[in-house]
Amino acid sequence: MAKETGIKLIAQNKKAYHDYFIEETFQAGLSLVGTEVKSLRQGKCSLKESFIRIENGEALIYQMHISPYEQGNIFNKDPLRVRRLLLHKREIAKIQNAITATGYTVVPLKVYFSKSLVKIDIAIAKGKKLYDKRDSIAKKDQLRQAAKEFKVRNLTM
């Protein structure tokens, strides 16, 4: 955990950066029960299949898997239950307007502890086409190759 920022990363959705162009990000709170928080402290969370919808003026996250807490017995909730995101009304309205535009969606990026609170970063994103994905992979390979050559060149001097 980074002492100066008080942030501890729990889970990250790396596939979102590969599949989408990230336009704008928001930080939201997450409405959880006690055993879910204890399970998150152990790092048992997955964002792989999760998605976000706006319904009745509320932002909801679906398919976010939080494993049941081992000592939670009867207090454990369903691991895939729908959870409410805590956002301001103007942020929800902004997200709703972006979703109605063609090609935009809302994806979760990462879940983390900010001091003692569970936060989630969500983003308004536009889907990439196959050729965009190939282009971004090629750029990453070029950067990796250039860094490798730079390192080798500096070692020989």
pLDDT in tens, 8-58: 899 898 888 888 888 889 999 998 888 888 888 888 888 888 889 999 989
What CA–CA distance (Å, rounded) separates 81 from 63?
Answer: 7
Name the residue among 112, 121, 108, 116 with its Cα closest to residue 8.
112
Task: DSSP for 103-127, please give it.
Answer: TEEEEEEEEEEETTEEEEEEEEEEE
Q: Is 39 within 8 Å of 4 (Cβ atoms)?
A: no
Query: pLDDT tens for residues 76-114?
Result: 777 788 889 999 999 999 999 888 877 788 999 999 998
Other beta carbons less than 10 A from residue 121's beta carbon = 18
CA–CA distance from 60 to each of 30, 66, 107 (Å)? Answer: 9, 15, 11
Q: What domains sit in the chain, N to C, each tagged with a CATH number? A: 7-128 (2.40.280.10)
